[in-house]
Amino acid sequence: MSGTHPVCPIDGTGGLALDAYGILVAVAALIVTYGLFSGAPLARYVTGPMVFTAAGFGLAALWFDSSAATLDRSEIATEAMQLLAEFGLAILLFTDAARINPTHLRAGEGLPARMLLIGLPGTMALGLLIAWAFFPGDPWWSLALIALILAPTDAALGQSAIANPDMPEFVSQTLNVESGLNDGLALPPILIVLGIAAGNDGSGGFASGAATMAGHLILGPLAGIVIGYGGGWLIRRAVQRHEMTRLFQRLSAPALAIVAYAGAEAIGGNGFIAAFAGGLMVSVTLHRAASAQRLEDFAVAEANILISALFLLFGALIVPIGMDHWDLAALGYAGLSLTVIRMVPIFLSLIGTKLDWSTTMLLAWLGPRGIASVLYLLIALQALGGETPDRLVSVVSLTVFISIFLHGLTATPFAALYLAKRRKSGKHVK
């Protein structure tokens, strides 16, 4: 890749080169194009992630002569991609956590808490068990990474259902809270397994690796708590004194995320855990404050530019690499990941509630895999380098690829069926 040219670069074959400039132009053009019909009925079925992923895959075919042969993992290991993945994940974790109202965890019979504390660990455990059954010859840590990386959900892929004005508030709220927190809760075990996997090369002793991991897990949250609480307090105070504009209230979200990330890394902590902890502290500090709405505005506006770019890169770089290793075993696991592995633990977590069967089914189905899994895969690729198992890239990329289109296409009709059933049973829609 040649990302230093001020004009659109040309590769050795006379075609466009896939670098930062080309990606930026593609994202900008797609945002305008998709925006033209984003409010039309078609957009309920053709979602933004579907458009950007498909466009990325199409651009990769164009740029690389319709072949993934010229692509390798060095395309992902560049400094630009590393920064995008790291800061993108930090901002995602921070904004997801900062958007959560702490009281929502207890709302509706504690549905979000049940799905996070019972459903999420159950999904991880069942995912590992089924991965071991499907791929018995693979290293245990590779199987664990498959299960852990595919555990978080992305509510944005089912947004047409969640944002439906007729959808009961407790359903939308539960799915948003679950999606906002499960990516951060999945992070520590992913980091632990990555640390063990990276240590298999014998470059460091167990004691050294354990000390490093302990520093990540202790100093990371500490830095996030201090920076998140302090930053939130300063923002709240400035807003109360009418000294901070709405624009800079919005911009404070990515700024605090990066400060928390960098602060933790500077003292030997993990920046991603710090970003998540910082977002939680901001949520607590700004609870019910007007400035909390500005953070929400950022998360649904400016952050979508970053997310759109990441979906395009997923289609352009990760899918072509992963599809070389797609097989029936990967397809079978992907199908189970989106159904049994997700839905059975959610069913179990909701036992004892007063939910009807249709609501339980909807909550279990709307657990798509999206940007968090993509970013965690990028982090794994960068941490493991050439030691990254092909199986990990294959299964994760295929599962996310299927989920983007499957959940995007089914969210609206499934929501319509659910709402029609509620009306027929005489229940209030809202």
Residue 4 lies in a domain: no
- What is the pLDDT at residue 185? 92
> Is residue 407 helix, strand or coil?
helix
CATH number at residue 217: 1.20.1530.20
- What is the pLDDT at residue 67? 44
| C-alpha distances in Å from residue 200, one per residue of 67, 192, 204, 207, 387 | 33, 13, 9, 14, 10
Q: How many residues does the chain have?
A: 430
- What is the pLDDT at residue 197? 86
Cα torsion 244, 245, 248, 253 to 10°: value is: 70
- Given a contact cutoff of 8 angstroms between Cβ atoms, the answer to whether 8 and 22 are in contact is yes
Residue 15 lies in a domain: no
Which residue range forms the structural domain that includes residue 136? 74-424
> What is the largest distance, in Å, between two alpha-carbon atoms of the chain?
66
- What is the pLDDT at residue 39? 82
Residue 99 lies in a domain: yes
Spell out the residues 6+ positions from residue 355 whose beta carbon is closer than 8 angstroms to its own: 109, 111, 363
> What is the C-alpha to C-alpha distance for residues 317 and 338, in angstroms, rounded to an integer?
23
User: Residue 130's Cα: distance from chain center in Å?
Assistant: 22
**Which amino acid would we find at residue 173?**
Q
- C-alpha torsion sign, points 259, 263, 265, 269: negative
Provide DSSP, 190-255: HHHHHHHHHGGGSSS-HHHHHHHHHHHHHHHHHHHHHHHHHHHHHHHHHHHTT-S-HHHHHHHHHH
| C-alpha distances in Å from residue 321, one per residue of 46, 66, 169, 394 | 25, 13, 40, 8
- What is the pLDDT at residue 19? 60
CB neighbourhood size of 215 (10 A): 15
CB neighbourhood size of 95 (10 A): 25
User: Model's pTM, two decimal places?
Assistant: 0.86
- What is the pLDDT at residue 201? 52
Domains of the chain: total: 1
Residue 25 lies in a domain: no
- What is the pLDDT at residue 206? 53
| Token digits of residue 305 | 């530019």
Report the phi/psi class of residue 67: left, alpha or beta, with left for phi > 0 and alpha for psi in -120 to 50.
Answer: beta
Cα torsion 83, 92, 179, 156 to 10°: value is: -90
- Given a contact cutoff of 8 angstroms between Cβ atoms, the answer to whether 321 and 99 are in contact is no
Closest of 145, 130, 61, 26 to residue 319, by C-alpha: 61
> Is residue 137 helix, strand or coil?
coil
| Token digits of residue 132 | 């071991």
> What is the C-alpha to C-alpha distance for residues 409 and 146, in angstroms, rounded to an integer?
25
Residue 35 lies in a domain: no
| Token digits of residue 243 | 């000294």
> What is the C-alpha to C-alpha distance for residues 100 and 221, in angstroms, rounded to an integer?
18
CB neighbourhood size of 232 (10 A): 26
- What is the pLDDT at residue 291? 59
The single-letter DSSP state of residue 425 is T
Residue 154 lies in a domain: yes
Closest of 392, 377, 378 to residue 138, by C-alpha: 392
User: In sequence order, what are the beta bridge partners of 16?
Assistant: 10
List the chain residues with pLDDT less than 50: 1-16, 66-70, 202
Instruction: Determine the Cα angle at 140 with ends 136 and 144, to 5°.
Output: 110
Residue 64 lies in a domain: no
- What is the pLDDT at residue 10? 40
- What is the pLDDT at residue 88? 85
> Is residue 428 helix, strand or coil?
coil
**Which amino acid would we find at residue 353?**
T
- What is the pLDDT at residue 182? 92
